[in-house]
Amino acid sequence: MSIRRSILSMGAAVEELVRESFTIFLNRDADAAEAIIQRDRSIDEMDVRVETECVTVLARFQPVARDLRFVLAVLRIENDLERIADLAKGVAKRTIDDDHHAPIERPAALSLMIEHTTAMLSDALRALADRDADLARRVRGSDQIVDDLQTRIYEWATSQIPAHTEATAAAISILSVTRAVERIADLSTNIGEDVIFMIEGRIVRHTQI
Amino acid sequence: MTDPAPISAARTHAERSPARPARSAPPAPVSIAPPSEPTETAIAVGGFSAWYGDFLALDDLTFDIPRQRVTSLIGPSGCGKSTFLWWINRMNDLVDGARCDGRMSLGDVDLLDRKLDVVDLRRRVGMVFQKPNPFPKSIYNNIAFGPRLHAKWRRSDLDDLVERSLRQAALWDEVKDRLHKSALSLSGGQQQRLCIARALAVEPDVLLMDEPASALDPKSTSRIEDLIRALRDDYTIVIVTHNMQQAARISDQTVFFYEGRLIEWGPTTELFTNPRESQTEDYVTGRFG
């Protein structure tokens, strides 16, 4: 049993799920969406396995200091990864729904936002694997960029929906995906903060960078 | 008051070292953090070293023990925890070749003063040992023994004191109907609580505990730990333990000794979640010791 191996495997699986769900949404590839939705189940199984391993270690070994911080961080990260996988599944479902909507030209900020968020998740997981607190801090720093891009997409929707009422459903779908992407960025930030706690023992949530 | 025999300070006091002999490497820098809820200092320790013959058992310790808090002393076997505890109430006076240097004070009392009345000191600083050691007397007389040494008592006052001490030690309900039965008829856990009640009967300021639960089963251990937490509001408690989880559970401050040196001391939560020194980290996580 290796908690470290399990959480890194779960992280890699979730990262792949996120990348693929974003790709099929951007490519409007509804045919590939169902397979992604089904894969969420294996993430749920990983989630239960990691939590079981953590509970076992807590019960049997009563870890302290860096061992305790590691187990606590993994418990939080595992929860965040499971939520990220759910959000990715939601993006895949939107891709299927979108297939039935009148199309609308997507804002440039959307692919930029997806690119930043994917990088944030990737960096947060690399910081976990490499025990790299500096990289984890940079993940926190990227969150504002994603929030700004989300604001630009809301502004885009405000102007586009009245002008293209026939594509309202597609625009709402984009807003919905935007919200999911922003949540994934937030959860990646949480993972970065948990990595900082794991390495340095400082709780940096709710603090300025 | 756990030692039944009065000890003459003049006869038994170990010699203080007139000058510190040369030591090998200087101690590692010590991380100092105040307890999370600071209280005033009960016992102040400054530049304190102790020897058994030529063996340097404690090397230049400086730290404070806060009043009405629980302080755990942790570290591998032979690191000097018990030696330190024994110097607080001068048990080392009984050990040939034991000597010390530096400062250790309880309030304005110099604990290392060779003229100190150690009988009076041991009234103020009670001791509970690893193995329960009730006197082969009745439960009542175990408690009454110490107070009778120090003063004459009216029977009714002594009865009240015995009851109060047993209640404080969470033992009253279990023994109130057999106070005049032998203390040796009690279970191990009850005997240990009786020893704590006996120490409390002389109204000490400080309670020293040398692995008080290591010979007890989990349930008795839990009762002793509950008791320590309950006593914390009224007494300054210093406990030596090899049980890391016990130290984490019951103490406010933890002090880590290694090979006679003080490596780190500070709030227990901090020491067990984010110790400053790698040696502390390695010890509390079980990587050595």
- State pLDDT tens for residues A10-28: 999 999 999 999 999 999 9
What is the predicted pLDDT for the residue at B286?
87
Cα separations (Å) of A13 from A70, A92, A167? 20, 16, 34
What is the predicted pLDDT for the residue at A167?
87
Q: Is residue B34 part of a domain?
A: yes
CB of A64 less than 8 A from some CB of B = yes
Q: What's the CATH number where B61 sits?
A: 3.40.50.300
What is the predicted pLDDT for the residue at B2?
37
Contact B273 A69 (CB under 8 A): yes
pLDDT in tens, A144-166: 999 999 999 999 999 999 988 88
Give the rounded percent of residues in chain A with a pLDDT score beyond 90.
Answer: 81
Q: Going by C-beta distance under 8 Å and a sequence separation of 6 or more, which residues neighbour residue A130?
A: none
Check: CB of residue B186 under 8 Å from CB of residue B141: no
Which of B231, B108, B233, B219 has its CA nearest to residue B168?
B231
CB of B275 less than 8 A from some CB of A = yes
Expressed in angstroms, the distance from the first to the final Cα of chain A is 35
Mean pLDDT of chain B: 87
Q: Is residue B128 part of a domain?
A: yes
What is the predicted pLDDT for the residue at B37?
63
Contact A65 B272 (CB under 8 A): yes
Q: Parallel, antiparallel, or unpaired: how do β-strands B41-52 and B98-106 relate?
A: antiparallel
What is the predicted pLDDT for the residue at A45?
94
Contact B284 A64 (CB under 8 A): yes
- pTM for this one? 0.77
What is the predicted pLDDT for the residue at B289?
61
Decide if domain A3-200 falls under CATH 1.20.58.220: yes
Per-residue pLDDT, averaged over B215-244, amounts to 92
Interface test with B, best of A57, A60, A62, A64 (most B CBs within 10 A): A64
pLDDT in tens, A85-112: 999 999 999 999 988 888 888 999 999 9
Residue B76 Cα, gap to closest chain A Cα (Å)? 17
Residue A184 to residue A192: CA distance in whole angstroms: 12
Instruction: Break chain A into its structural domains and give their ranges.
Output: 3-200
Q: Using an 8 Å CB-CB cutoff, list chain A residues near B280.
A: 65
> CA B110, B112, B117 angle in degrees (round to 5)?
80
Q: Using an 8 Å CB-CB cutoff, list chain B residues near A65.
A: 272-275, 280-281, 284-285
Residue B190 to residue A84: CA distance in whole angstroms: 54
Chain B neighbours among A 188-207 (CB < 8 Å)? 200-202
pLDDT in tens, B151-186: 899 999 999 999 999 999 999 999 999 999 999 999
Q: Is residue B2 part of a domain?
A: no
Structural domain total, chain B: 1
What is the predicted pLDDT for the residue at B268?
93
Which residue from A minimizes the CA distance to B287? A67
Among A124-128, B100-104, B159-163, B283-287, the least confident range: B283-287
What is the predicted pLDDT for the residue at B127?
94
What is the predicted pLDDT for the residue at A206?
82
Q: Is residue B1 part of a domain?
A: no
Q: Is the pLDDT of residue B212 over 90?
A: yes
Per-residue pLDDT, averaged over A112-133, amounts to 97
Given pLDDT bands bounded at 50, 70 and 90, which one contains residue A209? low
DSSP A206: T
Q: Is residue B76 part of a domain?
A: yes
What is the predicted pLDDT for the residue at A1?
54
Which residue from B minimizes the CA distance to A200? B274
Mean pLDDT of chain A: 94
Residue A104 to residue A121: CA distance in whole angstroms: 28
Q: Which residue has the tokens 């310790």?
A: B61
What is the predicted pLDDT for the residue at B17?
46
Residues A40, A44, A49, A55: is their CA dihedral positive or negative?
positive
Exposure b/e, B10-33, CB count within 10 A at least 16 = b: eeebbeeeeeeeeeeeebeebbee
Q: Going by C-beta distance under 8 Å and a sequence separation of 6 or more, which residues neighbour residue A135?
A: A123, A126, A127, A192
CB of A58 less than 8 A from some CB of B = no
Residue B34 Cα, gap to closest chain A Cα (Å)? 18
CB of B277 less than 8 A from some CB of A = no
Q: Is the pLDDT of residue B137 over 90?
A: yes
Residue A91 to residue A96: CA distance in whole angstroms: 9
CB of B201 less than 8 A from some CB of A = no
Give the rounded percent of residues in chain B with a pLDDT score beyond 70.
Answer: 87
Residue A107 to residue A127: CA distance in whole angstroms: 31
pLDDT in tens, B20-68: 444 444 433 333 333 446 689 999 999 999 999 999 999 999 999 999 9
Residue B215 burial (CB < 10 Å; 0-12/13-18/19+)? middle
Residues B277, A73, A136, B287: is their CA dihedral positive or negative?
positive
Q: Is residue B142 part of a domain?
A: yes
pLDDT in tens, A155-196: 999 999 998 888 899 999 999 999 999 999 999 999 999 999
